[in-house]
C-alpha cells in the first residue's frame, strides 16, 4: 500500500496527491510517469509525476476526475493509500541548455509540464511558458509554473483569465515578438499538441510532445499505447512519452483515444449510480 500523505482539490475535479513512494522519488526524472492501481476493483492508469522529494520520500500526482477510476481516487483522503504505484516509467525528458524554450501546457497537461520546465530552467535555459484552459479555474498550478518560468502567458477559451483564445494564438504572438525559440515542448490534449506542431513545423522550430495514450501495463508488453511516429510503430510507455511532434500521427492517436468511449461512459454512469445509492443508504441509516 502506498500511503497518501496529503490530498487537496486545486481546481474543480482536479486533485493533488502527495504519496509516500521513497524508491520512486529517489529515481524520478522529469518526464517520467507511474502506473497507479487505486484498489482491487480498479484499473491501472498512467499518471505523470508532477514533483518528487527524494528527502521526504514522496511523489506528487495531479488527478483529474474523468472516468470511474479517477472518480474513485477523488474519494480517497490523506491516510488512505493506493494499492500499487509502479515506476518511474518512460524515457526521461532530455534536459540540456538549448537556449530559449517555450513550454506550452493545456489543462491537465500543465501538471507534467512543471518538472520539465523546472529542469530546463535549472539547466540554464530561458523558459517562456504558455498555459491554457477552457476557463480560469482549469489553468492549474499557476504559482508553481511562475516559479520556474522567466515569462508566462495565460490563455482561456472563454476569456475569463489572461488572453482570450487558444495557446497557439499566444505562441504565434510570442514567436513574432521574441523570435523563434530553440525548442517548444507541448503537453495537453492531443488536438492542442497537433495544433502546436502544425504551427511550428513550417517555421522549423524543434517541437516535442508528451503523449498520454491508453495504457495497461506501462512496460511495452500489451501494446495498447502504440502510436505511429514517422510511419513506424512506437510504444508511448517505453519509447516515450515524448516524441518529435512533427512526426507523430495525431489523427491516429486521437482515433485510438476514442476507441473505448462507450465503455468508459457506461463504467462512469454505473459508478455514479452505485455511489449515489450508497450515499442515500447512509442518509437513511442516519
The domains located in the chain, with CATH, are 2-89 (2.40.30.10), 100-257 (3.40.50.80)
| Mean pLDDT, residues 59-72 | 91
Average pLDDT over every residue of 104-122: 95
CA–CA separation, 254 and 118 (whole Å): 29
Q: Among candidates 176, 231, 185, 178, which has minimal Cα distance to 211? A: 185
Pairing between β-strand 207-210 and β-strand 242-244 as defined by DSSP bridges: antiparallel
CB atoms within 10 A of CB 175: 17
Output the pTM of the full model.
Answer: 0.89
Name the average pLDDT for the chain: 90
- Integer angstrom CA distances of residue 70 from 45, 114, 207, 222: 9, 21, 30, 22
The answer to whether 73 and 100 have CB atoms below 8 angstroms apart is no
| 281 has a pLDDT exceeding 90 | no
Q: Return the C-alpha cell found at 206.
A: 524543434
> Of 177-191, 216-230, 239-253, 258-272, where does mean pLDDT reach its minimum?
258-272
pLDDT (mean) for 245-272: 80
Q: What is the pLDDT of residue 20?
A: 98
Spatial separation of the C-alpha atoms in residues 217 and 169, rounded to whole Å = 37
Using DSSP, state whether 245 is helix, strand or coil: helix
Low-confidence winner among 40-44, 93-97, 245-249, 273-277 (lowest mean pLDDT):
273-277
Q: Where are the alpha helices (DSSP H) in 103-166?
A: 110-122, 142-147
Question: Which residue has cell 483529474?
Answer: 64
Strand partners, 128: 102, 151
Amino acid at each position: 500500500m502506498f500511503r497518501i500523505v496529503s490530498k487537496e482539490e486545486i481546481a474543480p475535479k482536479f486533485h493533488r496527491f502527495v504519496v509516500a513512494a521513497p524508491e520512486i522519488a529517489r529515481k524520478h526524472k522529469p518526464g517520467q510517469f507511474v502506473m497507479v492501481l487505486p484498489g482491487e476493483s480498479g484499473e491501472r492508469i498512467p499518471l505523470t509525476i508532477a514533483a518528487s522529494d527524494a528527502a521526504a520520500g514522496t511523489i506528487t500526482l495531479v488527478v483529474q476526475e474523468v472516468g470511474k477510476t479517477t472518480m474513485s481516487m477523488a474519494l480517497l483522503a490523506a491516510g488512505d493509500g493506493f494499492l500499487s504505484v509502479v515506476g518511474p516509467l518512460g524515457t526521461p525528458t532530455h534536459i540540456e541548455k538549448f537556449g530559449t524554450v517555450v513550454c506550452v501546457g493545456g489543462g491537465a497537461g500543465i501538471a507534467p509540464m512543471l518538472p520539465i520546465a523546472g529542469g530546463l530552467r535549472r539547466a540554464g535555459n530561458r523558459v517562456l511558458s504558455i498555459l491554457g484552459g477552457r476557463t480560469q479555474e482549469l489553468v492549474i498550478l499557476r504559482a508553481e509554473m511562475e516559479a520556474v518560468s522567466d515569462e508566462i502567458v495565460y490563455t482561456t477559451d472563454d476569456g475569463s483569465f489572461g488572453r482570450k483564445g487558444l495557446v497557439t494564438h499566444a505562441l504565434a504572438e510570442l514567436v513574432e515578438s521574441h523570435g523563434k525559440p530553440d525548442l517548444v515542448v507541448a503537453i495537453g490534449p492531443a488536438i492542442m499538441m497537433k495544433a502546436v506542431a502544425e504551427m511550428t513545423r513550417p517555421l522549423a522550430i524543434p517541437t516535442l510532445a508528451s503523449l498520454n495514450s491508453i495504457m495497461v501495463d506501462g512496460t511495452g508488453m500489451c501494446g495498447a499505447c502504440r502510436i505511429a511516429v514517422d510511419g513506424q510503430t512506437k510504444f508511448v510507455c517505453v519509447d516515450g512519452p515524448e516524441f518529435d511532434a512533427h512526426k507523430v500521427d495525431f489523427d491516429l492517436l486521437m482515433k485510438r483515444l476514442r476507441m473505448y468511449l462507450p465503455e468508459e461512459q457506461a463504467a462512469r454512469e454505473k459508478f455514479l449510480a452505485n455511489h449515489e445509492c450508497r450515499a442515500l443508504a447512509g442518509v437513511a441509516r442516519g
